[in-house]
A = this chain, B = another copy of it.
């Protein structure tokens, strides 16, 4: 069960004109459910993406990058769950390209206008034949109301589908932002076995869309960590279907951008948090905020050192205020000239460490009270500047080990 996250109900994910979603059962991993998703975009739709920093990036990531560089408009996205098509060498690239060609034939666009995505087991050959055979069913099923079905089809170890929607007005014209995401493990600094797709009918010019996508990723999917592993397949794509009847947005200075940006940020943030809330084995959702740093980078390092410490995460799981482990993690963050005597930290509103030592007011029962909650805030003050950074994470439970020891079986 995710931590304080209710999956979207049917109808809650608003349709985005120009974006139709269809799913089918390709049988990639022996699951009974649908495991293949086709997003079909209206002519003229633009897309931008942010991808994994893993050097062993998956074949579909390489092909996505190539196609985004080559195609001006994007006609379709194809997503399979159950096989990552990563660590598959040249054959993997050929398989991803063959998938794009087949999609192009089925929906009627250039292969280069197709973006492929895969998530699942690494280093197994992609069953292209099964995917190709299921494409007509995906196409025939595609409807603008298909977001929730789509969110279900891309799940792997996720326990619930994840989606979010917002509607805002731009110059009096209502536009929609809807997104879905999947991911529950291998979630780390630079994204995750994480797929995130956000679409809007608001027309956003390509260069601006690319800038917005980078910023959105930085403030949402790049703020989360579950187990510290950056997967081979992480992809976050923002689609602009250009279907809303307003003048295209081309510049950051355009005052109409502000409400749209806010809606995009809300949808991306909600999806990113949903991934942590549904983190493998997660029983707690933890917000780590580090402030008073010289720059955002060092705040980020400290926040991640805390969020990724196995000892901190198991203490949260145990509801045990063994808070010395947080002290230890702060000291490990690689901020070489950190003066421990200026460091303080709080658990929610409870001062635990002040000036590098245990707060005189700290009582174990107060620590226990906060640690028992499902939603916990850790706030660290470094006492050396004005910068800050926030990271979202979850605890490490028995179930994390169980899920990851059993995943392939």
Contacts and interface: CB of A to CB of B under 8 A. Distances in A.
A181 interface: no
A329 B230 CA distance: 8
B405 A329 contact: no
A328 B89 contact: no
Interface stretch (A238-246, A267-275, A336-344): A336-344
Interface in A300-345: 308-311, 314-315, 317-318, 320, 322-325, 327-333, 335-336, 338, 340-341, 343
A328 B232 contact: yes
Given A227-B311, A357-B92, A55 B324 contact: no
A57 B402 CA distance: 34
Contacts of A340: 55-56
Interface string A366-409: 00000000000000000000000000000011101110111111
Given A229-B329, A310-B227, A358 B318 contact: no
A123 B323 contact: yes
Nearest to A121: B324
Contacts of A86: 324, 327-328
Nearest to A92: B357
Question: Which among A188, A227, A318, A341 has the highest number of chain B CB atoms within 10 Å?
Answer: A318
A91 to B, nearest CB: 7
B355 A89 contact: yes
B311 A87 contact: no
Contact of A331 (B55, B328, B330, B404): B55
Contact of A405 (B228, B230, B315): B315
A401 B405 contact: no
A21 interface: no
Contacts of A404: 310-311, 314-315, 318
Question: Which among A91, A122, A185 has the highest number of chain B CB atoms within 10 Å?
Answer: A122
Q: How large is the interface on A (under 10, 10 to 19, 20 to 34, 35 or more residues)?
A: 35 or more
Interface in A340-365: 340-341, 343, 353, 355-358
A331 B232 contact: yes
A54 interface: yes
Interface in A129-184: none
A402 B407 CA distance: 20
A332 B186 CA distance: 11
A60 to B, nearest CB: 14
20 contacts: A55-B335, A84-B324, A86-B327, A87-B324, A89-B341, A90-B357, A91-B357, A92-B357, A121-B324, A122-B324, A186-B311, A228-B310, A229-B310, A229-B325, A230-B328, A317-B401, A320-B407, A320-B408, A398-B402, A401-B401
Interface of A: 54-57, 84, 86-92, 121-125, 185-186, 188, 227-232, 308-311, 314-315, 317-318, 320, 322-325, 327-333, 335-336, 338, 340-341, 343, 353, 355-358, 396-398, 400-402, 404-409
Given A55-B336, A122-B328, A320-B409, 17 more contacts: A54-B332, A55-B335, A86-B324, A121-B324, A123-B324, A123-B353, A185-B311, A188-B332, A228-B309, A228-B310, A229-B311, A229-B328, A229-B329, A314-B404, A318-B405, A396-B401, A401-B401
